[in-house]
Structure 1
Amino acid sequence: MSRGDDVEQAKGSSSSQDGVAFPRSSSPTSHGGEPGARHARTRTSSSARRRSLQAPILDPHSSTGASAQSPLAKLGIKGDGLMLFVTCFASLGVLLFGYDQGVMSGIITGPYFKSYFGHPTSYQIGTMVAILEVGAFITSLACGTLADILGRKKLLFVGALVFSTGGAIQTFTTGYGSMVIGRIVAGFGVGVLSMIVPTYQSEISPAENRGRLACIEFTGNIVGYCLSVWVDYGCSFLSGDISWRLPLSLQVIVGLILAFGSLLLPESPRWLLDHDRDEEGMRVLADLHGSGDPTAERAKLEFREIKENVLFMREQGERSYRAMWKRYRYRTLIACSSQACAQLNGINLISYYAPLLFEAAGWVGRDAILMTGINGIIYVLSTIPTWFLIDRLGRRVILMSGALMCALALYAVGFFLWIDASYTANAVVGSVIVFNGFFGYSWGPVPWMYPAVSLALAFRAKGTSLATATNWAFNYIVGEGTPVLQDLIKWRLYPLHGTFCLGSFVLVYYCYPETMGVPLEEIDSLFNDKPSSVPQDDSDSSGDEEAAETRPRRPLRRSISSHPRFEDDSLRAARKAARAHEREVRRQQRGGIVPGFVKRLFGPSTRPQVGEYEPVRGDEH
């Protein structure tokens, strides 16, 4: 059967569904959908071809019906519970590379480790620690294409297995060479996980809670780092090589848990719809947004919005890295710069070499690891307030305030090391704690979120892979150069990174838009690109063709919950009155005691204009 016949048959079999009309004209092409899958319904006219997208009717007896539910959904884990479970379990992926980043910081100061590797030089230590980033850089670039081919779920499984293999090589290493090989292989796995986990999480999460779920995920990364430090501290009381082999072996166990546990997770609905596996995608959307009910209004609306965006992106043609750079250069640069700034702001200067820093400040041997462990606990706690602030204050305010405080903390570290007073040891610990606290609240979680939400679906995996590769490239530079620079310029290294923090403040202020609460299908409008015209009403496709073509551009919606489908007349009237009141209050406050530059500094981004959208309110959640 031809694709056209299949479409006409699908139209006839589902005419009872509500339709939504769209003005653009093109014929979508298949992206490898399974035979017999129900695709988007299309119809043509003499002037233009219009689409009428309808959520598929799921047959509970078909291969894509109830029997195709994920194991978690079959166990009754659906809706918000499924969303939270997926986020927490996927966080094991970022926990792994957080653990791997921290585990080396403790064992490289241990006497048995130094003796086994012949008391390595600072250059050898830097290479051993930072070589992981080389492997991560390579695979994070390759995964941009692999994620679109294999899917998010399969790539998560592969990344966890590769990471476990690298951890096993490190655990049973026989010398410096095999340790470096093990670090590279583990880096391959880290590159996959660090790219695919944020992409998968962003495509699963609803817009109004995406920030919070991403921050919960990042907390998993810091829990991994903190856990590694305390494992190092506990194993420092052991005698022999087991004191450093045991910490390395634990990452193998966690990696295998993630690999086989990922088989329980649902596939990204956006990837499924992009590959014309519409019924499977609808099943996932029903589990996530309809508590398993495929007739739930929100689940059907999510389907239509995502599918419309898929078809719109197919009209644009090529989906290569070159096309992404040509069409979305500004957005790609934002995604990459956020990751670069996160590394240049000094986090790995602290995370990788905190024990060496504390030794330089006066804490010797096991005490240096203990101080690192205490610092790690505070680091974890600092990430929790962001869960509740990220979808209220927005991304820009958090990034800018974090950059300022991190800069002050790093300048303080350099100052106290320079004066070398009797209180230097305690002052350095305090300054490092302040730095980690504000980094964990700001530049830790947010840069992992920006790449995944800044690009359109067709380029999301590639854009995230490029941003992640940027992360690991700068990660390598910092990791390789830190021990050498500590020997050469000593305390001056910390003010240097403090200056980078100030630079990131300026970058965010002038260049970064506010993405708080914006649905992924609305990102084009946020960046003033051509929007994908997601439906704003429930009009049937049989409406006036010419009226649809001349429909005025709608405002950007901040949450799918604000769609008119989910409002009644009284609620709509109440919101209209509230907006009028807010405008009057703002008008009366103009020219008040707050300086204008303060309002501009912590106000919304100038891209787009404030009048184009409204902030998410609590009653929309």
Structure 2
Amino acid sequence: MSSSHHPIKESFLVGRALLNFTSIFVSLGVFLFGFEQGLMSSLLTNKYFKQYYRNPSPAAVGTMIAILEVGALFSSFLAGKVGDNIGRRRTIRYGSAIFVIGGIIQTFSVHIVNLAVGRLVSGVAIGFLTTIIPCYQSEISPPDDRGFYACLEFTGNIVGYSTSIWVDYGFSFLENDFSWRVPLFLQCLVGTLLFAGSYVIVETPRWLLDHDQDHEGMIVIADLYADGDVEDESAKAEYRGIKENVLISRIEGGERSYRYMFQRYKKRLSIACFSQMFAQLNGINIVSYYAPMIFESAGWIGRQAILMTGINSLVYIASTIPPWYLVDGWGRKPLLMTGAVFMGIPLLLISISLRANNSYTPNVVVACVVIFNASFGASWGPIPWMMNEVIPNSVRSKGAAASTATNWLFNFIVGEMTPILLDAITWKTYLIPAASCALSFFCVHLLFPETKGLTLEDMGSVFDDSSSIFSFHSSGNYGATEDSSSIHRSTSVSAVDQNDLFRQSPASIARNTALLRPDEGLLQSPVIAPVVPPAQSALKPTKSDTASFDGLGPTDSNIPPQEIEPPNYDSIIAFKRAEAQRLGVFSILRRRLWPVKHEDEEQPLTG
């Protein structure tokens, strides 16, 4: 096609608008987690709730609270495989459906055991959602704004937490069991909304290209990054970068098992898991789950404790906004290290104040809890959830599952032990997370790399444990692993234009200074080494691969590496026309809202 602009989707919902809409909408999944978390913390002080369940013991309360984490722990591992097999979008759909079922069981529970079963089911759903949604978010976000959207997502989580506190406070004025049953039911409505929305949001382009759905992947890339123009050069470049990364993983064996991930990417995985571990051990769920009980122990009784928790939640929300703008500029490491300091000091002061138990204690505890929550919301709250960005695309879903499972494991430990510790050692309880904050500071300083601004495909430039993009996107080293051989073909710079062969990201260039021109300093080299896949490559291209990549067999030494071309405009239109013939009810509704039309036709392709 000769036209310079070829939009496929005739709607305002493309580009930044689509990215913002999708990011905000999928945040409903983490909103549900926050809502569930805050909801139960306030209900624990509701007199009708306690009367109905016959004043459960601290151990029973701890088990009922923590059993949600048990469900989430096991389902998060399952979510990794499900997310790889059926896609991120459908996994969100099934997770939201399970959540609604769990909410209904809780609403109509008649015994503390029934309530615990409902929370277990909801935990299974939350395991799915908290594993896949951060993964989904990182895969659709542009590298320069990935931190922004991850922090925006966490804000949705805290908005859910705050909403549940104020819902509990409002319904606490009802003098009957509806004061706690209605809040439990409201979470079902939010879950239903997320379920319906899963039919509208797009699938991630990385999952689509990894499963050889190249036409749809190109359309989504264009919609997200090029205002729907499938022939935009930046969209084509994004397609090539993702597709070539997919092909490299296949050349290297294409393994996706947990065992392979633990062996090959243990450093990346340890960073993702350590961040989630410290997020829990640093004490946030001592406050989130039991804030009203903490305020009661400090002298704020009954509804006053819920009111103080609600006020604290508003400050908590506000604290999640600065990271939107700091995480991609200042960086991940400085935020985590600063947060560890400003969380540890208030925890220490809470312990000292409760030990003193004087007239200043109630106000000191409230002030310290607010400062602690705000510090967490600006650092250890959002950033651990985005650290699955360091996991390679081929195992990202499983890596996210492992890090999320780590979160739920330590979440369970904290939720189970907190009421017991508060009852047994009272003020000394807060010294434990204070010590964890100090330990996390040094862990981040010594072990964590800075990943701001890197594309997901270029994380290897930090960890040096995987190959970079091949063909002329390569860093000049094919199969840069300990057990793989490097195959090079020397070509004079004068014979082949270097700019045509290599379109490097800054990080790729930084990894291989041999690719710099002599006048760029550091390391001068008269030759460059474009990459040619080996003749006996393990890669077996699919039909969609061979349609856009001219051969991966023996390569003539005089032929430069071939471009991986995305599907062209006409083939995409043919694909959309064929798709329109097999649309379901929800897809038809979506196409009516956002019709697809060939530029030479007057009618949209809505079937």
Q: Same fold (TM over 0.5)?
A: yes
Question: What's 1:169 paired with?
Answer: 105
Q: Distance in 2 between matches of 1:209 and 1:534?
A: 25
Q: Distance in 2 between matches of 1:478 and 1:495?
A: 14
2:128 to 183, 189, 192: 192
Q: Is the 8 A contact 2:32 2:160 kept in 1?
A: yes
Letter in 2 for 1:319: R
The residue matched to 2:459 in structure 1 has which SS? helix
Kindly state the Cα deviation for residue 202 of structure 1 after the two structures are TM-superposed.
0.3
Question: What's 1:384 paired with?
Answer: 321
1:205 to 129, 133, 141: 141
Q: Is the 8 A contact 2:473 2:502 kept in 1?
A: no
RMSD, aligned CA: 2.5
Task: Determine if the alignment matches structure 1 residue 147 to structure 2 residue 83.
Answer: yes
Kindly state the Cα deviation for residue 535 of structure 1 after the two structures are TM-superposed.
6.5
1:450 to 387, 390, 394: 387
1:512 to 448, 452, 464: 448
Question: What's 1:411 paired with?
Answer: 348
2:176 to 240, 250, 264: 240
Question: What's 1:547 paired with?
Answer: 491
Letter in 1 for 2:138: S
The residue matched to 2:506 in structure 1 has which SS? coil
Letter in 2 for 1:370: L
Structure-1-length-normalised TM-score: 0.76
Q: Distance in 2 between matches of 1:537 and 1:258?
A: 38
Q: Is the 8 A contact 2:277 2:406 kept in 1?
A: yes
Q: Is the 8 A contact 1:411 1:494 kept in 2?
A: yes
Task: Determine if the alignment matches structure 1 residue 345 to structure 2 residue 294.
Answer: no
The residue matched to 1:353 in structure 2 has which SS? helix
Stretches of structure 1 that go unaligned for 5 or more consecutive residues are 1-15, 18-56, 67-72, 539-543, 561-575, 577-621
Letter in 1 for 2:313: G
2:311 to 370, 374, 378: 374
Deviations 1:485-542 (A, max 9, x none): 001111011121111011100100000000101000101111122432366679xxxx
1:492-531 superposed matches below 5 A: 492-531=428-467
Q: Distance in 2 between matches of 1:285 and 1:173?
A: 46
Instruction: Evaluate the alpha carbon distance shift between residue 222 and residue 315 of structure 1 in structure 2; reply closer, same or farther with a 3 A threshold.
Output: same
The residue matched to 1:264 in structure 2 has which SS? coil
Q: Is the 8 A contact 2:319 2:377 kept in 1?
A: yes
Kindly state the Cα deviation for residue 175 of structure 1 after the two structures are TM-superposed.
1.2
Letter in 1 for 2:339: G
Letter in 2 for 1:335: A
Instruction: Evaluate the alpha carbon distance shift between residue 529 and residue 471 of structure 1 in structure 2; reply closer, same or farther with a 3 A threshold.
Output: same
Question: What's 2:597 paired with?
Answer: none
Task: Determine if the alignment matches structure 1 residue 557 to structure 2 residue 517.
Answer: no
1:255-270 superposed matches below 5 A: 255-270=191-206
1:113 to 41, 49, 55: 49
Instruction: Evaluate the alpha carbon distance shift between residue 459 and residue 432 of structure 1 in structure 2; reply closer, same or farther with a 3 A threshold.
Output: same
Q: Is the 8 A contact 2:151 2:323 kept in 1?
A: yes
- Percentage of pairs with the same residue: 49
1:398 to 335, 344, 348: 335
Task: Determine if the alignment matches structure 1 residue 476 to structure 2 residue 412.
Answer: yes
Greater alpha carbon shift after TM alignment, 174-183 vs 363-372: 174-183
The residue matched to 2:404 in structure 1 has which SS? helix
Deviations 1:33-71 (A, max 9, x none): xxxxxxxxxxxxxxxxxxxxxxxx9xx9xxxx94xxxxx
Letter in 1 for 2:336: L
Letter in 2 for 1:241: D
Q: Is the 8 A contact 1:208 1:559 kept in 2?
A: no
Task: Determine if the alignment matches structure 1 residue 331 to structure 2 residue 280.
Answer: no
Kindly state the Cα deviation for residue 559 of structure 1 after the two structures are TM-superposed.
11
Q: Distance in 1 between matches of 2:242 and 2:492?
A: 20
Kindly state the Cα deviation for residue 343 of structure 1 after the two structures are TM-superposed.
0.2
Instruction: Evaluate the alpha carbon distance shift between residue 233 and residue 522 of structure 1 in structure 2; reply closer, same or farther with a 3 A threshold.
Output: same
Kindly state the Cα deviation for residue 177 of structure 1 after the two structures are TM-superposed.
1.6
Task: Determine if the alignment matches structure 1 residue 431 to structure 2 residue 368.
Answer: yes
Instruction: Evaluate the alpha carbon distance shift between residue 255 and residue 440 of structure 1 in structure 2; reply closer, same or farther with a 3 A threshold.
Output: same
Deviations 1:388-407 (A, max 9, x none): 11111000000000001100
Question: What's 2:251 paired with?
Answer: 315
Kindly state the Cα deviation for residue 75 of structure 1 after the two structures are TM-superposed.
3.6
Letter in 2 for 1:521: E
Question: What's 1:23 paired with?
Answer: none
Superposition misfits of 4+ residues, deviation over 6 angstroms: 535-538, 548-555
The residue matched to 2:30 in structure 1 has which SS? helix
1:85-100 superposed matches below 5 A: 85-100=21-36
Instruction: Evaluate the alpha carbon distance shift between residue 254 and residue 74 of structure 1 in structure 2; reply closer, same or farther with a 3 A threshold.
Output: farther
Q: Distance in 2 between matches of 1:222 and 1:164?
A: 20
Deviations 1:299-323 (A, max 9, x none): 0000000000000011222210000
Q: Is the 8 A contact 2:248 2:467 kept in 1?
A: no
Q: Is the 8 A contact 1:522 1:557 kept in 2?
A: no
Question: What's 1:604 paired with?
Answer: none
Letter in 2 for 1:443: W
Kindly state the Cα deviation for residue 76 of structure 1 after the two structures are TM-superposed.
2.5
Q: Is the 8 A contact 2:41 2:292 kept in 1?
A: yes
Deviations 1:58-100 (A, max 9, x none): xx9xxxx94xxxxxx5542000111111110010000000100
Question: What's 1:227 paired with?
Answer: 163
Kindly state the Cα deviation for residue 555 of structure 1 after the two structures are TM-superposed.
7.4
Question: What's 1:134 paired with?
Answer: 70
Q: Distance in 1 between matches of 2:284 and 2:294?
A: 13
The residue matched to 2:380 in structure 1 has which SS? coil
Question: What's 1:459 paired with?
Answer: 395
Letter in 1 for 2:161: Y
Instruction: Evaluate the alpha carbon distance shift between residue 426 and residue 418 of structure 1 in structure 2; reply closer, same or farther with a 3 A threshold.
Output: same
Kindly state the Cα deviation for residue 265 of structure 1 after the two structures are TM-superposed.
0.5
- Number of residue-to-residue matches in the alignment: 492
Q: Is the 8 A contact 2:461 2:508 kept in 1?
A: no
Letter in 2 for 1:546: S
Question: What's 2:294 paired with?
Answer: 357
Letter in 1 for 2:219: R
The residue matched to 1:182 in structure 2 has which SS? helix
Structure-2-length-normalised TM-score: 0.78
Q: Distance in 1 between matches of 2:344 and 2:471?
A: 45
Stretches of structure 2 that go unaligned for 5 or more consecutive residues are 475-487, 510-519, 521-607
